[in-house]
Chains A and B, each alone.
Chain A
Amino acid sequence: MIDTIIIEGLAFALPMFIMAIGGIFSEKSGITNLAIEGLQGFGAFAGAFAAVITMGMVSAGSQIPYYVSFIAAVLGGMLYALLHVMLCIRFKANQVISGVVVNMLAMALTSFLTKRINEALFGAKSDKFILDTSMRFTVPGISKIPVLGAVIKSVYPFEIIILVVAFIAWFVMYKTPYGMHLRACGDNPQAADAAGIDVYKVRTWAVIFSGGLSAIGGMSYAYSISANFSPSIYLGFGYLAIAALIFGNWSILPTFGACLLFGFARSGGQVLIQHLGMPSTYNDLVRTLPYVVTLLLLVFFSKNNRSPRALGEIYDKGKR
Chain B
Amino acid sequence: MGDSEYIIEMKHITKSFPGVVANNDVSISIKQGEIYALLGENGAGKSTIMSILFGMYEPDSGEIYIRGKKERISSPRYATKLGIGMVHQHFKLVSNYTVTENIILGMEPQNKLFGFIPRVDIKKANRDIAELSERYGLKVDPTSVISDLNVSTQQRVEILKMLYREADILIFDEPTAVLTPQEIESLLEIIRSLRDAGKTIIIITHKLEEIKAIADRCAILNRGKLIDVREVKDTSTAEMANLMVGRKVTFTVDKTEADPGNVVLRVEDLSVKDEMGHEAVKDVSFEIRSGEIFALAGVSGNGQNELVDAIAGLKKAEKGHIFLNDKDITESTVRERIESGLAYVPEDRQNVGLVMGYTLKDNLVLKDYYTDKYSSRTVIKDEAKAENGTRLIQEYDIRSGKGNDTIVSSMSGGNQQKAIIAREIEMNGRVVIFMQPTRGLDVGAISNIHKQIIDERDRGAAVLLISLELDEVMNCADTIGVIFDGRINRIAKASELTVEEVGRFMMGVEKGGES
Which B residues touch A192, using CB under 8 A?
A: 94, 105-106
Is A180 a contact partner of B118 (Cβ separation < 8 A)?
Answer: no
Q: Once bound together, how far apart are the Cα atoms of A191 and B88, in whole Å?
A: 10
Residue interface bits B102-122, CB-to-A below 8 A is 1, else 0: 100111101001000111100
Which B residues touch A196, using CB under 8 A?
A: 75-77, 80, 106-107
When C-beta atoms are compared, the residue in chain A nearest to B81 turns out to be: A196
When C-beta atoms are compared, the residue in chain B nearest to A191 turns out to be: B92
Q: Once bound together, how far apart are the Cα atoms of A176 and B118, in whole Å?
A: 6
A residues 157-199 touching B (CB-CB < 8 Å): 171, 175-177, 180-181, 183-184, 187-188, 190-197
Q: Once bound together, how far apart are the Cα atoms of A177 and B96, in whole Å?
A: 16
Is B120 a contact partner of A175 (Cβ separation < 8 A)?
Answer: yes
> Does B95 touch A at the CB level, under 8 Å?
yes
Is A184 a contact partner of B110 (Cβ separation < 8 A)?
Answer: no
When C-beta atoms are compared, the residue in chain A nearest to B78 turns out to be: A196
Is B97 a contact partner of A181 (Cβ separation < 8 A)?
Answer: no
B residues 372-397 touching A (CB-CB < 8 Å): none
> Does A90 touch B at the CB level, under 8 Å?
no
> Does A125 touch B at the CB level, under 8 Å?
no
CB distance from A175 to the nearest CB of B (A): 5
Is B94 a contact partner of A191 (Cβ separation < 8 A)?
Answer: yes
Which B residues touch A184, using CB under 8 A?
A: 94, 97, 105
CB distance from B127 to the nearest CB of A (A): 18
Task: Count residues on chain A whose CB falls below 8 Å from chain B CBs.
Answer: 19
A interface secondary structure, majority? helix
Q: Once bound together, how far apart are the Cα atoms of A199 and B75, in whole Å?
A: 13
Which B residues touch A171, using CB under 8 A?
A: 117
When C-beta atoms are compared, the residue in chain A nearest to B161 turns out to be: A195
> Does B442 touch A at the CB level, under 8 Å?
no
Q: Once bound together, how far apart are the Cα atoms of A285 and B129, in whole Å?
A: 57
Is A191 a contact partner of B93 (Cβ separation < 8 A)?
Answer: yes
When C-beta atoms are compared, the residue in chain A nearest to B105 turns out to be: A195
CB distance from B155 to the nearest CB of A (A): 14
- Assess A195 versus B95: contact at CB under 8 Å? Given A176-B118, A180-B120: no
Is B107 a contact partner of A194 (Cβ separation < 8 A)?
Answer: no
Task: Count residues on chain B whose CB falls below 8 Å from chain A CBs.
Answer: 26
- Assess A187 versus B94: contact at CB under 8 Å? Given A177-B120, A181-B105: yes
Which B residues touch A180, using CB under 8 A?
A: 101, 105, 108, 120
> Does A144 touch B at the CB level, under 8 Å?
no
CB distance from A30 to the nearest CB of B (A): 12
Q: Once bound together, how far apart are the Cα atoms of A175 and B118, in whole Å?
A: 8
Pick from A177, A190, A193: contact of B108, CB below 8 A: A177
Q: Once bound together, how far apart are the Cα atoms of A194 and B90, in whole Å?
A: 12
Which A residues touch B75, using CB under 8 A?
A: 196
Q: Once bound together, how far apart are the Cα atoms of A226 and B472, in whole Å?
A: 74
Which A residues touch B97, using CB under 8 A?
A: 183-184, 187
Q: Once bound together, how far apart are the Cα atoms of A183 and B88, in whole Å?
A: 21
Which B residues touch A194, using CB under 8 A?
A: 76, 86, 88, 92
Which A residues touch B96, using CB under 8 A?
A: 183, 187, 309
Q: Once bound together, how far apart are the Cα atoms of A193 and B92, in whole Å?
A: 9
Q: Once bound together, how far apart are the Cα atoms of A171 and B114, in whole Å?
A: 14
Q: Once bound together, how far apart are the Cα atoms of A177 and B110, in whole Å?
A: 8
Which A residues touch B113, using CB under 8 A?
A: 175
Which A residues touch B101, using CB under 8 A?
A: 180
Residue interface bits B153-191, CB-to-A below 8 A is 1, else 0: 000000001000000000000000000000000000000
Residue interface bits B314-342, CB-to-A below 8 A is 1, else 0: 00000000000000000000000000000
When C-beta atoms are compared, the residue in chain A nearest to B76 turns out to be: A194
Which A residues touch B80, using CB under 8 A?
A: 196
CB distance from B407 to the nearest CB of A (A): 11
Is B118 a contact partner of A177 (Cβ separation < 8 A)?
Answer: yes
CB distance from B96 to the nearest CB of A (A): 6
B residues 113-153 touching A (CB-CB < 8 Å): 113, 117-120
CB distance from B354 to the nearest CB of A (A): 16
Is B105 a contact partner of A191 (Cβ separation < 8 A)?
Answer: yes
Which A residues touch B95, using CB under 8 A?
A: 187-188, 309
CB distance from A22 to the nearest CB of B (A): 21
Which B residues touch A187, using CB under 8 A?
A: 94-97
Which A residues touch B105, using CB under 8 A?
A: 180-181, 184, 191-192, 195, 197
CB distance from A230 to the nearest CB of B (A): 39
When C-beta atoms are compared, the residue in chain B nearest to A177 turns out to be: B108
Residue interface bits B52-77, CB-to-A below 8 A is 1, else 0: 00000000000000000000000111
Q: Once bound together, how far apart are the Cα atoms of A209 and B297, in whole Å?
A: 55
Q: Once bound together, how far apart are the Cα atoms of A122 and B108, in whole Å?
A: 54
Q: Once bound together, how far apart are the Cα atoms of A6 and B106, in whole Å?
A: 43
Which A residues touch B119, using CB under 8 A?
A: 175-176
Interface core residue of B95, B105, B113, B161 (most chain A CB under 10 Å): B105
CB distance from B113 to the nearest CB of A (A): 8
Q: Once bound together, how far apart are the Cα atoms of A194 and B101, in whole Å?
A: 14
Which A residues touch B88, using CB under 8 A?
A: 194
Is A188 a contact partner of B106 (Cβ separation < 8 A)?
Answer: no
Q: Once bound together, how far apart are the Cα atoms of A180 and B113, in whole Å?
A: 16
Is A197 a contact partner of B106 (Cβ separation < 8 A)?
Answer: yes
Residue interface bits B272-315, CB-to-A below 8 A is 1, else 0: 00000000000000000000000000000000000000000000
Interface core residue of B113, B120, B161 (most chain A CB under 10 Å): B120
Which B residues touch A309, using CB under 8 A?
A: 95-96
When C-beta atoms are compared, the residue in chain B nearest to A190 turns out to be: B92
Q: Once bound together, how far apart are the Cα atoms of A171 and B119, in whole Å?
A: 9
* Given A177-B120, A183-B94, A196-B80, 8 other A-B residues pairs in contact with their CB atoms under 8 A: A175-B119, A175-B120, A177-B108, A181-B105, A188-B94, A191-B102, A192-B106, A195-B92
User: Closest 4 A-B residue pairs measured CB to CB?
Assistant: A195-B106, A191-B92, A196-B77, A194-B92
14 pairs from A and B in contact (CB 8 Å cutoff): A177-B120, A181-B105, A183-B94, A184-B94, A184-B97, A187-B95, A188-B92, A188-B93, A191-B105, A193-B92, A194-B88, A195-B161, A196-B77, A309-B95
